Amino acid sequence: MNFASDNVSPFCPEVFEALAHDATNNAPAYGSDALSAQLDATFSELFDKEVAVIPVATGTAANCISLSALVSPYGGVVCHHEAHINEDESTGVAFFTGGAKLLPMDGPAAKLEAATLDRFVSGLVDRGVHSVSPECVAITQATELGTVYSIDEVNAIGAVCRDHDLRLFMDGARFANAVAHLNCHPADVTWKAGVDAISFGATKNGAMAVDAIVLFDTSLKARIEQARKRSGHLHSKHRYLATQLLAYVKDDVWLKNAAHANAATKALEDVLGKQGASLAHAAEGNELFVKMSPELATRLRDAGLMFHGWPSLGSDVYRFVCAWNTDIAQINALNTTLG
């Protein structure tokens, strides 16, 4: 069983069927097709607000192109030091923004806390042109350590951003898993809480290759589209990005897939706990970080499980990630296999 990442999963039947259905006819290129024209209305209904949707093929592009419209080349982006944009996007943010600097800070379980954020921003020394002033705060939902910001927590961070005249961006590569955990309306934890833009993840949760930049400030659309083209992320056969996104959100496929991944994670947590592992911290989405002995890690790998060590949290911490297609029955059967 492969728990190395949710990226190892295939695309789900709904996306496959939609792609097959829409793969038979010619259509205008670069987003001028009928399917692409449905995106804004479909996501506006999803978020209960007028939004603008700009699809791209990768999460890196979704994050970095979004930030390029929210921060100037000489501005700063406050984020958690464990954030994907800080740990896993290489120098992508600086590249796409033309030079903006990440301003990483700490917080429990990869989450920013509003009070600490306020002190951090207030404590930055203004040296005029010699220093970098924050212009945006970026949070990850769900976080890189599998925790989820509550509605109140995002609201509190949004309030700090308003107090300091900062934009608020949400890296939502696993946004579906967060919403499934919170069992809330997606609006409650985004624009109603002060979020200006989100990278709405789909690839990890059943799509083939697409994430959506969703703008709650629709005035940014033209700027984002220019940045997408300039960076080489405008697809000529744009309709196949739209096809995936429309199938992904139709009939709440995105939430059903995420709920299954979350449930599989809880099942795996139970199995590993019976084998002597313990949580490194709360598992609220589809990522599980556990402490366990090297002997147990070896037993699990010998039983065919694939997963990664996570030395930044400790030499005895390992990460397991479940996906929309993870077999829960097979997880439960591990109790017998492992003894």
- pLDDT value of position 125: 76
Q: Greater confidence, 281 or 259? A: 259
Q: How confident is the model at residue 131 (pLDDT cuts 50, 70, 90)?
A: confident
Q: Write the single-letter amino acid at 25.
A: N
Residue 175: per-residue pLDDT: 98
Share of the chain above pLDDT 70, in %: 100
Residue 130 scores a pLDDT above 80: no
What span, in angstroms and rounded, lies between the C-alpha atoms of 108 and 319? 17
Which pLDDT belongs to residue 49?
98
pLDDT digits (tens, 9 = 90+) for 238-253: 999 999 999 999 999 9
Spell out the SS3 assignment of the chain: CECCCHHHCCCCHHHHHHHHHCCCCCCCCCCCCCCHHHHHHHHHHHHCCCCEEEEECCHHHHHHHHHHHHCCCCCEEEEECCCHHHHCCCCHHHHHHCCCEEEEECCHHHCCCHHHHHHHHHHCCCCHHHCCCEEEEEEECCCCCCCCCCHHHHHHHHHHHHHCCCEEEEEECCHHHHHHHHCCCCCCCCHHHCCCEEEEECHHHCCCCCEEEEECCHHHHHHHHHHHHHCCCCCCCCHHHHHHHHHHHHHHHHHHHHHHHHHHHHHHHHHHHHCCCEECCCCCCCEEEEECCHHHHHHHHHCCCECEECHHHCCCEEEEECCCCCCHHHHHHHHHHHC
Q: What is the pLDDT of residues 206-216, one digit of tens each?
A: 999 999 999 99
Average pLDDT, the chain: 96
Residue 140, strand partner residues: 171
**What is the average per-residue pLDDT within 309-324?**
95
Which amino acid makes up residue 78?
V
Domain annotation for the chain: domains and CATH numbers: 11-251 (3.40.640.10), 254-338 (3.90.1150.10)
What is the pLDDT, as a whole number, of residue 86? 95
- What gap in Å lies between CA 46 and CA 187, rounded to an integer? 8
Q: What is the pLDDT of residues 167-184, one digit of tens each?
A: 999 999 999 999 999 999
Q: What is the pLDDT, as a whole number, of residue 103?
A: 97
The predicted structure's pLDDT at residue 338: 84
138-166 pLDDT, tens digit each: 999 999 999 999 999 999 999 999 999 99
Q: Is the pLDDT of residue 339 over 80?
A: no
Of 213, 215, 242, nearest in space to 32 by CA = 242
Cα(first)–Cα(last) distance of the chain, in Å? 17
